Amino acid sequence: MTSDPGLHMTPEEFRRAGYAAVDWVARYLEEIERFPVLSRVEPGEIRARLPAEPPASGEPWDAIFGDLDDVIIPGITHWQAPGFFGYFPANASPPAVLGDLVSSGLGVQGMLWATSPACTELETHVLDWMVGLLGLPRRFASNGAGGGVIQDTASSATLCALLAAREQASGYATNAEGVDRRFTAYTSVHAHSSVEKAVAVAGIGRGNLRLIECDDVFAMRPDRLEAAIREDAAAGRVPCFVSATVGTTSSSAVDPVPAIAEICARHGLWLHVDAAYAGSAAVCPEFRWINDGLERADSYCCNPHKWLLTNFDCDCFYVADRASLIQTLSVLPEYLRNQATESGAVFDYRDWHVPLGRRFRALKLWFVIRHYGIAGLQRHIRHHVELAQAFTGWVATDGDFELMAPAPLSLVCFRHRGDDAFNERLLQEVNATGKVFLTHTKLNGRFVLRLAVGGTYTERRHVELAWRLLRETAAALAPTG
Ligand code: PLP
């Protein structure tokens, strides 16, 4: 660190700036309720505040930190604000922040076991812990044929699962020869758009993704899935992949995984289960029903970066048969050859996802699990579910609002009894207060408001405030619809 003190920070300078950075983040979190949850800047406004050219010589840290407040904060949508109820949460926590800090400080690149054995072995170990923590089938643990890896996102997990499924269905020929037949993939109309992106990227083609109809609670209909697979097979196409969702983005619907798994087994399709949001709930035994059928899934993913206090990015991706994933994604150029890889005794995680390089993400998950313990993580999930259930009760007993989907966990889908335009206006006005932020979806063609409880610092008073703002704003807008 002192090789060129005129150029680099000395340890003492780093310490001082580092403490100031931690102070800045701590203060930000303390004062977060001062800011409007949704950023109010116009497009281009942040760039206009930045100098056109980079500085010719280095600047003092006071100036750099000052710009965080003056330039950056106005353009922040405050995902960690307790009034953030949009999309799904991306809840962060101090232990995870510290994990990322240490990961950055170590600066290791864990593409191979040999490039930092602890980076690989901690990841394998923590992902095995997660198998127990979430009550996942033991087949996903690394001591058998399966195993887990941290991906950046659920989108990448789904892509990797699909690539392995495609390879397996072609007898591992498509990587070498290209896609020479019409593979087909299946998911529900309510699945996340990452499935559509994956089929495009994997060369299967969007036109070969079948969006299966859902039942009246927005879960995939197994009879329609089976019919679609049969129709494609009869037409000479090659059905290869099903992505079932546990906790859909629109409404947190849970596809009937046991029945879907039965169909996949009968027709020889790869079953991936996307539990990006809802999967974290399984830390509580009373929510483990969401894992029903997983024992027959080929792959599974869940995002601690959504609902398990682990800063973005952290997706836990599991496969039942790691050999098929590794065979799909492994390429070994001469410059990466090493004894450990050749011994076959280690995992090289570069073979488990698309990028070669990878940072030490397991640290933050490890810190989170150790700081909170199982009991703390359960408390965190139960708290949010309780708050969402309270909100559900208020909506259900209010004559002006109605629930639009079952709310088994922490997402509530509801609307005012006015028309779509009214609900859209209501959402805009409530968000314009800056005190809360909700997003919307469409269910059965109707505009629906979503309240996703999941902030690290969200308390009952914040959910009560959201409800009060919704009711008062609706009354002020005097619906005619
Ligand atoms: N799957 C589901 C069910 C989701 O809700 C989401 C995001 O909300 C995703 C996948 C995509 O998540 P990621 O940003 O990790 O790719």
- Strand locations in 275-360 (E): 299-302, 315-319
| CA 45 and chain centroid, separation | 29
Q: Which pLDDT belongs to residue 481?
A: 44
Structural domains in the chain (count):
1
At 2-35, the pLDDT tens digits run: 567 689 999 999 999 999 999 999 999 999 999 9
Whether the CB of 280 sits within 6 Å of ligand 1: no
Whole-number Å distance, alpha carbon 88 to ligand 1 midpoint, is 8
Provide mean pLDDT across the span 112-138.
98
Whole-number Å distance, alpha carbon 154 to ligand 1 midpoint, is 5
Whether the CB of 274 sits within 6 Å of ligand 1: yes
Any idea which residue has 């995902």 for tokens?
79
Residue 306 maps to a domain: yes
Q: Which pLDDT belongs to residue 322?
A: 97
Provide mean pLDDT across the span 344-361.
96
Q: Is 119 exposed, middle or buried (0-12, 13-18, 19+ CB in 10 A)?
A: buried
User: Domain of 115?
Assistant: 106-367
Residue 313, both tokens = 């990015």
At 420-469, the pLDDT tens digits run: 999 999 999 999 999 999 999 999 999 999 999 999 999 999 999 999 99
Residue 384 maps to a domain: no
CB 134 within 8 Å of CB 302: yes
Q: Which pLDDT belongs to residue 363?
A: 98
Whether the CB of 249 sits within 6 Å of ligand 1: yes
Whether the CB of 276 sits within 6 Å of ligand 1: yes
Residue 393 maps to a domain: no
Q: Which pLDDT belongs to residue 181?
A: 83
Residue 1 has pLDDT above 70, yes or no: no
Point out which residues pair with 272 in neighbouring strands. Answer: 243, 299
Nearest atom in ligand 1 to the alpha carbon of residue 157 is: 16
Helix axes 460-477, 362-396, angle to 10 degrees: 50
Whole-number Å distance, alpha carbon 302 to ligand 1 midpoint, is 9
Residue 361 has pLDDT above 60, yes or no: yes
Residue 272 has pLDDT above 90, yes or no: yes
Rounded Cα distance, 83 and 91, in Å: 12
Residue 237 maps to a domain: yes
Q: What is the CATH number of the domain that holds 142?
A: 3.40.640.10
Whether the CB of 245 sits within 6 Å of ligand 1: yes
Residue 226 maps to a domain: yes
Mean pLDDT computed over every residue of the chain:
96
Distances (CA, A) of 167 to 299, 322, 328, 406: 15, 13, 6, 37
Rounded Cα distance, 196 and 234, in Å: 23
Write b or e for each residue in 366-389: b if 16 or more Cβ atoms lie within 10 A of its Cβ, otherwise e.
bbbbebbeeeebbebbbbbbebbe
Dihedral of alpha carbons 305, 308, 311, 317, sign? negative
Whole-number Å distance, alpha carbon 192 to ligand 1 midpoint, is 6
Rounded Cα distance, 200 and 378, in Å: 38
At 198-256, the pLDDT tens digits run: 999 999 999 999 999 999 999 999 999 999 999 999 999 999 999 999 999 999 999 99
Residue 40 maps to a domain: no
Q: Pick the residue whose CA is nearest to atom 12 on ligand 1.
A: 154
Ligand 1 pocket mutation pick from 277, 299, 312, 450 by most atoms within 8 angstroms of CB: 277
**Closest Cα to residue 281, out of 390, 383, 156, 141?**
383
Residue 260 maps to a domain: yes
Q: Is 281 exposed, middle or buried (0-12, 13-18, 19+ CB in 10 A)?
A: buried
Helix then strand then coil, in percent of the chain rounded to 5, is 50, 15, 35
Residue 346 maps to a domain: yes
At 70-80, the pLDDT tens digits run: 999 999 999 99
